[in-house]
Amino acid sequence: MENNNELKQLEEKELSSKLIYSGTLLNVYRDEIELPNGKTTGREYIKHNGAVCIAAMQEDGSVAVERQFRYPMHRIVTELPAGKLDTPDEIPLEAAKRELREETGIRASQWTYLGGMIPTCAYSTEIIHMYLAEGLEFGDRDLDEDEFLNVSFMPLKELVDKCMSGEIQDSKTQIATLKVARLKGIE
């Protein structure tokens, strides 16, 4: 994708890096950088371990969705099961299996990698790894102490329609849903 000439024209080079905030979810850095024209400026960004998103599909074509209150948005959001990697080097598939079981009680026998997405490349290193999970078995959930969410199933076509109409605004849910729809021949 990247060629060396273009990289030389566009690359910004780190001169120094300083951690300005360290939290449980993310770390914020402020770097001094050199621009391609030789001038210097600052960049603030978030280092994030990464995350996973799972489209868990039943044989009838319905997909597990969650509804939970998302504090930054101050509203209930409909989204696919998801969660962060515990460490930057955690295997994304293992995190996906863990998050799906903890949040929904579902285990899957078939996993298809749908690719990674960068939700906010302007200010975060986060990559969300998306999966299609099939061959579902149901068990008990194991929610975190501070996690409250409702799980239901929605036909894939309805989920696509809600993503396309803007009713579902969560980016990882939109992208994973549309990828699954393409794989399954749903418009």
Which sequence positions are flagged as catalytic? 145
Q: Are strands 62-70 and 150-155 parallel, antiparallel or unpaired?
A: antiparallel
Query: What one-letter code names the amino acid at 61?
Result: G
DSSP secondary structure letters along 56-70: EB-TTSEEEEEEEEE
Residue 167 token pair: 């009713």
Q: Look at residue 170 and give its three-state secondary structure.
A: coil
Q: Where are the alpha helices (DSSP H) in the chain?
A: 4-10, 92-104, 156-165, 171-184
Place of tokens 């794989």: 183
User: Using an 8 Å Cβ cutoff, are 183 and 132 in contact?
Assistant: yes
